[in-house]
Every structure is written in structure tokens, then in C-alpha cells.
Structure 1
Amino acid sequence: MQDEEALLCPSSPPRLGESVLIGVVSGTPEEPRVIPTERAIPVTQDIVDLARPVSPGEVFRFASRCRTAACIHFKNATCHIAARSTVLLDEVTGKLPYCAIRAQCRWFHQEGSDVCRRCPQIVTKQYAPSPEALKIVDESEPPQ
């Protein structure tokens, strides 16, 4: 089992000196797709500035240390974003997509490859999220 302290959240805000860039958002607003980077790239101000004039989370996917209980989506030793994603989202790829952080990914360690086949459609910041995306972050009900 991976050391809990070393696990990374694959959908975190960019934190200078702490986060890594792991993907670039592509696709359409209705069907976004995250294209993984070849390697995890340390976040710098230059990377954050590339997203202007929009929020960096609309353009990029970042990973940083999982905050566990300090995160609103983490309860009862479970990341509810990962748990809900495997229940509410359809797979968008039949094969396991490349991932620069899989060995350290909280979602993968919790949900296995099921979440990986859904991961490319998860965008951290969306201004017009789908009904499914809204259900994933709805904390009023626990994941099924």
C-alpha cells in the first residue's frame, strides 16, 4: 500500500512549488477531455500565466499532495470525487490512459483502473458543468 502522505490529488488547484502539471484540457465545453502530459511538470508562475485570461483549472489539470481530511471532498477515508466519478460517469476510454502520476494517484489507489477510464473527462474548473459533473461534487449525498 502506498504511503498515505505521498498520495497525490489529480485535480487540485495549482500551488507554486508544490503542484505538478499533469494534463491540458482539450475537447469541447460539452465534452472536455484532458490530454495527459508526458511527465509531471513542476508548476511555475509562467505555467499559471499561460492560462490567462481564464482560470488555470479550466486549461490545465494539476496534481498536488492529497489534503485528506482538510479537503471538503474527503470524508471517512474516501475521496468522494473519485468514488462518485466511478458511479456517475461513463468510461470515455476502453484502455488505461497514460498517466504521469498513477503510482502516486489517490484516485487510482482508491478506485483502481475504473476511475482512470473516466479521468480524462474530469476538468477541475468548469463554468458550464454537465449535470453529471455537478453530481460528482455534490456533498449532500455520499457516493453509492
Structure 2
Amino acid sequence: MASDPSVPLCPSAHPDLPGARVFAVVVGSVDQPRADYLEHAVPLTGEIRALAAPVDPAEVFRMASPCVGSACGHFDAGGHVCRLARKTAALAPIVVERLPRCAIRPQCVWWKQEGVSACRRCPQVATLNFKPGEAIRAAADPAVPLAQARA
């Protein structure tokens, strides 16, 4: 993925972030997306972007890129944590008991921070989802604190 294996990777990266690599293809339905993980992450090239046309690549692919830290609305600089990972692990339903193989897990921010709990929920995440369930919607909204989302 990145040249430095110690660089933490965001598993919910947008296609325009530097170093974006595809690690899964979103399959299933609009109501129930599921990530089909690739054996190896591949660079998001113009050719791969074209495969998603006419929709945004973030609807079709799960991409990872180096975590941008405090430049991201989901990052809690004071706590040095990804609130998206924390809220997804706390709010989203478990969708797999057995962890899927994942090309980015060793560097994944969600894995490093939330462990198995995040991985059991990760397959239902589509970075760009126009019909998310309530739990995913609450997890993805950086303006909604976890305590409020649970209420």
C-alpha cells in the first residue's frame, strides 16, 4: 500500500486523496451494500476510475489512503482517534462473525484503533452511500457525537 508500512491507512478514503488504493468492490444492493475484498490493494488509476462510470468511484470501490489526521472531520485531534471508526464499531450492526481477508488490515486505522469490532462491521460500509441505515448515517456524521447517536 504505502511505501512505509507504519503509515496508518484510512479505509474510508475518498478517490481524490493522494495515494488512494482500491481494496474492495462494493456489491450487494443500495439498501445493503457489502464489500467484496480484493486479495491485494491496487492504485486508483484513471482506468479503474472509468470502471465506476458514470457514478462516483466512492460508490463502487472501498479505497484506502494515508490517514490525514486532523485534516479530516472525523479525527479527534485531542484524543488522537478516528471518530468514524469508533462510531461504526459502536453503532453499526455486526455483519460478519469471521473476519474477511483484508489487504490493508495491518495498516488500517480502524483495525489498530477498534480491532475486531470494526472489522465485523466494515463490510457494510460504502464510502458514498445515498441510502444508509440509521446506524451508518449516525456513524458517518462527524457532527453527531457518539453519546448523542446512541440516544
Quick check: TM above 0.5?
yes
What amino acid is the match of 1:124?
T
Q: Which ranges in structure 2 are unaligned for 5 or more consecutive residues?
A: none
* Residues 58-80 of structure 1 deviation map (CA, whole Å, 9 limit, x = unaligned): 00000000001110000131111
RMSD: 1.8
Runs of 4+ with >4 A deviation: none
C-alpha separation between the residues in 1 aligned to 2:18 and 2:125? 24
1:117 counterpart residue number = 120
Counterparts of residues 19-98 of structure 1 (less than 5 Å): 19-75=20-76, 76-98=79-101
C-alpha separation between the residues in 1 aligned to 2:116 and 2:40? 19
More moved, 8-17 vs 79-88: 8-17
Q: What's the secondary structure of 2:12's corresponding residue? A: strand
C-alpha separation between the residues in 2 aligned to 1:8 and 1:139? 19
* Residues 100-126 of structure 1 deviation map (CA, whole Å, 9 limit, x = unaligned): 010000000000011001000000001
Instruction: Please give the TM-score of this superposition, normalised by the length of structure 1.
Output: 0.92
1:133 counterpart residue number = 136
C-alpha separation between the residues in 2 aligned to 1:5 and 1:37? 21
* Percent identity of paired positions between Structure 1 and Structure 2: 42
1:14 counterpart residue number = 15
Instruction: Please give the TM-score of this superposition, normalised by the length of structure 2.
Output: 0.88
Whether the 8 Å contact between 2:84 and 2:142 is mirrored in structure 1 is no
Whether the 8 Å contact between 2:37 and 2:101 is mirrored in structure 1 is yes
